[in-house]
Amino acid sequence: MQDLRAVLDRLDAAGRLRRIAEPVSPIFDLASVSRFAQLDDTLSHDVLLFERVEGAELPVVANLMVRRENVALALGIEPRDLLAHGVRALERPIPPVRVERAPCQEIVERAPDVDLRTLPICQNSELDGGRYITAGVHITRNPETGARNIGLQRNEVHDADTLGIWMAPTHMRRHYEIVEAQNRPLPVAIVIGVHPAVLIASQFRTAFDEDELPAAGGLLGEPIETVRCVTCDLEVPAHAEIVIEGEVLPGERHPEGPFGEFTRQYGIERPLPVVKVRAITRRRDAMYQNVLSGKSPEHPMIGALGREPSLFRAVHAALPTVTAVHMPLGSGANMHAWISIKKTSEGDAQKVGFAAFAHQDLIKHVIVVDDDIDIFDPFEMDYALATRVHAARDIFVVPRVRAVVLDPAAEEYAVGKGTVDKMIIDATKPHLAPPGSFTMADVPAAALARVAAHRARFFGGA
Ligand code: MN
């Protein structure tokens, strides 16, 4: 059970798949219908399957990664177990196994007989510079060590066989820097239409040269089956819907952007590297997947599901009394980290704060709370900030740390371009607070449990 269509079957059985037969344009319309559904109470829980997209033969899956409940359903777990399940996958990875024949290669088109424009690639945000692949899992190898990396990057369609690429300043970009210095291209496979486990694994923050695909196997509980690409020595998930094989060319730059990003703002147009497509392989009846970025919660949700387990491991290594971490969607699931701890000493908050900053470049504001606060509930976070913080004592600022360029604050306001100030808020109770001094007032828990046990007496029904 490692293909996207099996996930859709499972969602369908649970009443969570909505098929849309009305034809839509891939230019803004598909995104707008998806966004409308996200904002509508009766539609926001559903994954969408657009059966007819103008100018393309293939259907499009949308809103797959908007709700934690649907991702949990795909993985066969409860939503509240997503963090622990991700941590377990990182700790107990299952290496992929290679197969010789794969559904993702039922149809093989090689250059020059490839045309990206036959795929239902969408234009999503109003000011986007063109059509963008937004759910493309990029697979590359470190040219020096051969180690595999998988990550999500955005690709603008430039023409029939050329894509733009914005490489986040992480592992794939490092691979490209190494080969570009030798004036060689970087082979890349862009995989579209995979099990959510692979999308989540693409957001795991593993060490450089530590393959993320075994962790995807850990999420699934079975090895990911891979197949060798038809034009290069990379392996891709065999059960993917579509694979674009290509090379990031050395020394080539082409204007790319703007693109509505996880920051809810546009990444500006800049000269960026290009991918020359060497082949497109796919299933005979392949499905394409579109992910909405910008104000939509979907793009940050994918990030949160991968980065939270990674962050948990990092801060838990620094302080074993960490109980949970959350990267809220409002911050793009990047800039804010909320961390709960069983506090055993003053200064615990600073320690996990520094561990979080060291682990992920984009984390800017860390709020540390006690473990009686539910960090997945913004209401409770407000409560902790309101009742447990003395600003002059509990806020720590680390000035002028290297920033990621997509952070709007880094571009406009930082002291020294490309840096931001980082902040830790210690919203924990004093370690030696007098017993009973922070007791939360509520009705007696035992009385509440008695009501629950006799619910029908008061409210009727079964
Ligand atoms: Mn990596």
Identify whether 5 is part of a domain: no
State pLDDT tens for residues 251-279.
999 999 999 998 888 988 999 999 999 99
Residues with CB under 5 A from ligand 1 (ion): 149, 171
Which residues in the chain come in under a pLDDT of 50?
A: 414
Residues 358 and 383 in one domain: yes
From ligand 1's centre to the CA of 412, what distance in Å?
29
Using DSSP, state whether 275 is helix, strand or coil: strand
Whole-angstrom Cα distance, residue 204 to residue 304?
Answer: 9
From ligand 1's centre to the CA of 151, what distance in Å?
7
Query: How many structural domains does the chain have?
Result: 2
From ligand 1's centre to the CA of 148, what distance in Å?
8
Which residue segment(s) compose the domain that 79 sits in? 65-290
Cβ neighbors of 33 (< 8 A, separation 6 or more) are: 20, 24, 48, 50, 62
From ligand 1's centre to the CA of 30, what distance in Å?
31
Using DSSP, state whether 250 is helix, strand or coil: coil
Residues 251 and 325 in one domain: no
Residues 255 and 190 in one domain: yes
Question: What pLDDT, on a 0 to 100 scale, did the predictor assign at position 462?
Answer: 63
From ligand 1's centre to the CA of 198, what distance in Å?
13
The domain that contains 87 carries what CATH number?
2.30.110.10
Question: What pLDDT, on a 0 to 100 scale, did the predictor assign at position 436?
Answer: 84
The domain that contains 402 carries what CATH number?
3.40.1670.10
Residues 189 and 309 in one domain: no
Identify whether 17 is part of a domain: no
Residues 241 and 386 in one domain: no
Question: What pLDDT, on a 0 to 100 scale, did the predictor assign at position 414?
Answer: 45
Identify whether 49 is part of a domain: no
Residue-by-residue DSSP string for 302-364: HHHHHHHHHHHHHHHHH-TTEEEEE--GGGTTTSEEEEEE---STTHHHHHHHHHHHH-TT--
CA 450 to chain centre: 42
Q: Scan for tokens 């069983």, then name that residue.
A: 342
Show the DSSP H helices in 62-194 as ranges: 68-75, 82-91, 171-180
